Amino acid sequence: MTEQELDEILTLRWPLVMRRVMADGSDAWLKGFVRSVARHGRRPGWRPSFKQEQIMRRLLAEIGRPPKPGRPPEPDFELIEE
């Protein structure tokens, strides 16, 4: 993973991954992982380990895609009660 690719992921795509993982009832380990990547990603010079990179790429492939054109974006909140 190049430095430019990591910067793009952390800046543009990781926030979407975080929102989806936190909202979809994922297990505690996965929630901790995405928070950890976001936290460590702010440190200058931080690079994910090989294993972290594999997990990040899998998450990005599964849930880190932006909405398809012509489709409204997913809401950032869920209405519980009116």
Residue 9 lies inside a defined structural domain of this protein: yes
Judge whether residue 28 has pLDDT over 90: yes
Instruction: List the structure tokens of 16.
Output: 């979407």
Model confidence, pTM: 0.72
- 43 band by pLDDT with thresholds 50, 70 and 90: very high
Residue 27 lies inside a defined structural domain of this protein: yes
For 35, other C-beta atoms within 10 Å of its C-beta total: 13
Residue 42 lies inside a defined structural domain of this protein: yes
Number of folded domains that form the chain: 1
Residue range of the domain that includes 29: 3-63
d(CA 33, CA 19): 13
Task: List the beta strands (DSSP E) in 1-82.
Answer: none
Residue 37 lies inside a defined structural domain of this protein: yes
* Identity of residue 77: F
